[in-house]
Amino acid sequence: MFNLMSRKPVEMVAPENALPGRDQPIPTAKTHFVYDRPLTLDVPEGMEVAVFGMGCFWGVERMFWTLDGVWLTMVGYGAGYTPNPTYEEVCTGRTGHNELVRVVYDPAVISYDELLRVFWEGHDPTQGMRQGNDRGTQYRSGVYYVNDAQKAAAEASKDAFAPRLGAAGYGPVTTEIAEAGEFYMAEDYHQQYLAKNPNGYCGIGGTGVSCPIGTGA
């Protein structure tokens, strides 16, 4: 996200070649800059969690914190191998991690299908190991489910959206749908970055194709 058109690795590192990381979490923010709530992995009773990768996590997080029914958002790293990585380590391509946004939401106000629609329409899920000018394995499209219901919903939404993308001239969907593993919170300055820096870089852009999921269609 700092250096456009950077030539970062576009092949996943093998687990045995991943960086070793560290035992302790890296320091991060204590409070959500927008919501003024504790920035924690704890989930309040009645709330649920969704995890997405859509490219540079700065712009992705902003998409979700603006939604009614979202209680908390945070950016971090996951779907890789290195424990407690730093941003600089992730950028080497040697951790296997993706840039992720973890969303805590109230399912009585906003459904998981509605979050999936924002996910599919908010980026181009056909670009492989890149998103716009950001290239590398950390920018891959991904839905990381926390239960079987989310897995089924993610796969169904992909099946529904792919033909519409194809009809609009886009290639096959390259989105990774996988079980959510450990989520490592990113550094303080990454959290709610575009609220702190309103004119900051955001490389996220959708395809303009509407996704039928979450609309009642």
8 A C-beta contact, residue 126 and residue 171:
yes
CA distance 150 to 107: 12
Query: Catalytic one among 56, 91, 202, 211?
Result: 56
8 A C-beta contact, residue 78 and residue 142:
no
Q: DSSP 3-state helix, strand, coil percentages of the chain (rounded to 5)?
A: 25, 20, 55
8 A C-beta contact, residue 103 and residue 51:
yes
Query: Given phi > 0 = left and psi -120 to 50 = alpha, else beta, which region is 46?
Result: left
- Tokens describing residue 189: 């300055």
- Is 56 an annotated catalytic residue? yes
- Tokens describing residue 206: 């959708």
Catalytic residues: 56
